[in-house]
Every structure is written in C-alpha cells, then in structure tokens.
Amino acid sequence: MRQRHKPWADDFLKENTQLIVPDVKTKKGKWKEMFGNDNPIHVEIGTGKGRFIAGMAEQHPDINFIGIELGKSIIAIAGSKVKNAGRYNVLLLHVDAADLSELFAENEISVIYLNFSDPWPKKRHAKRRLTFHTFLEQYERILHPEGEIVLKTDNQGLFEYSLVSFCQFGLELTEVNLDLHSVEDPENIMTEYEERFSAKGQPIYRCRAQFS
C-alpha cells in the first residue's frame, strides 16, 4: 500500500504511545499485561488503514487485537480510526512482521489474520510472501496449539501459493472459500482492500488453517 508521508503521523505516534506501542520487543510475553486482562490475543499482519481491526474490536470486545503495520503514515491513519472508535482492546505496532518471534512468546497468540497481503508475484520475491515457510515457522511458534491462521485475498496466485505452502508445512485447512461474498455474512468485517476489490466484482478468497 503506497501512502504519501503524512506530516502529522510523527506527532500522532509520539502522542499516542498507549495505542501505538513503542519499544515493542520489551513487551514480548507481556501482552496480556499490556491489555490488563486475560482475553485471547488476535494479531493482524499488515493492518493497513485499520478498518478491519477497528471493526473486529467493536464486534468482539472480549478479544484483544494487535495490528502490525510497516508504514508510518498508514499506521497513524489506523490509529486515528481506532482512537475515534474509542476502542481499548486494540494495540498497534509500527514494526516489520519479519521479526515476529522477537515480539511474541511461544503460544501467546490465538489467531493470525493475513488480510490482502502483498502478493509478491515474482518468483525471486517468494520469500517476502507472508505465507512463505519462514513466516509459517514463526506463526507456529507464537500461536497457541489450537490457534489458527485466517487469510483473505483477492489475489488468486497468492491464494493458491498459500494453500500449497500451508499443506506442505503440514497445516490442516479448515476452510477454503472461493467466493466469500457469495453469501451475506454480517460477521465478516471488510478491510479497505476488500471493499475496493469486491466493489469491482472480484471474488474474495478466504481460508483458515491450523497447525494441529
């Protein structure tokens, strides 16, 4: 997601450290303390502008959500959305998801959402895809044994690649949906990309996978 630098983003991050958490590596294993309760923690990687995480947090007040996003201006937009919605069950991390094992302890997370992740279509960039086996190794470490990965995308190539990658890694697919919007589902919170692509008539794919 390209986003021009927003001059207010630096100040927003500095002034909202209760929401966009600094020094994230010192919080490894302490995320329940950070939320101040024992509720399960769900992580969205590549949160974008925050429509999904803000909506999920409202729909599920008994779940804690952590959004990870590389783009500074993008996470500032997500932050202002969450702040305006008055949600206290969301924390945002302005970091690269490549370092997940440094952010979370073993079994600390219940669900990982991969929403419209960058597809990296060139073969030589395969290791950057968030479903490349090195990412799956990290997800396995930080996910609770009964935890799951939920992936949504409009990109057929990334979807097919991810299904194969999950199966080769030994994950069990508990859902493979080739047209998520063919049936109305009030539980499905759309992301910004999902809104955009489904408005163009593109099918949205979703799968769920578990390690055990």
Task: Count the neighbouring beta carbons within 10 Å of the beta carbon of residue 200.
Answer: 7
Nearer to ligand SAM, 46 or 147 (CB): 46
Nearest by Cα to 80 from 15, 153, 5, 177: 15
We find the least distance from the C-beta atom of residue 199 to ligand SAM, in angstroms, to be: 13
Number of residues that bind ligand SAM (CB under 6 A): 21
Task: Count the neighbouring beta carbons within 10 Å of the beta carbon of residue 70.
Answer: 16
Nearer to ligand SAM, 37 or 127 (CB): 127
118 is known as an active-site residue: yes
We find the least distance from the C-beta atom of residue 154 to ligand SAM, in angstroms, to be: 9
CB burial class (10 A; 0-12, 13-18, 19+) of residue 96? exposed
Site string for ligand SAM, 31-70 (x = CB under 6 A): --------------xxxx-------------------xxx
Q: Which of 27, 65, 71, 77 binds ligand SAM (CB under 6 A)?
A: 71
Nearer to ligand SAM, 161 or 193 (CB): 193
Site string for ligand SAM, 88-117 (x = CB under 6 A): --------xxx----------------xxx
We find the least distance from the C-beta atom of residue 37 to ligand SAM, in angstroms, to be: 25
Nearer to ligand SAM, 89 or 138 (CB): 138
d(CA 204, CA 156): 9
Looking from the CA of 81 toward its CB, the CA atoms found within 13 Å total 23
**Alpha helices (runs of H) in 85-147, residue ranges in sequence order:** 100-103, 133-142
Nearest by Cα to 65 from 33, 40, 97: 40
Give 90's DSSP letter. Answer: E
Q: Which of 10, 11, 118, 185 is catalytic?
A: 118
Residue 191 found at the interface with ligand SAM (CB under 6 A): yes
What is the SS3 assignment for 26? helix
51-59 helix and 72-84 helix, angle to the nearest 10 degrees: 30
Task: Count the neighbouring beta carbons within 10 Å of the beta carbon of residue 48.
Answer: 22
Nearer to ligand SAM, 2 or 145 (CB): 2
Binding region for ligand SAM (CB under 6 A): 1, 45-48, 68-71, 74, 96-98, 115-118, 191-194
Active site residues: 118
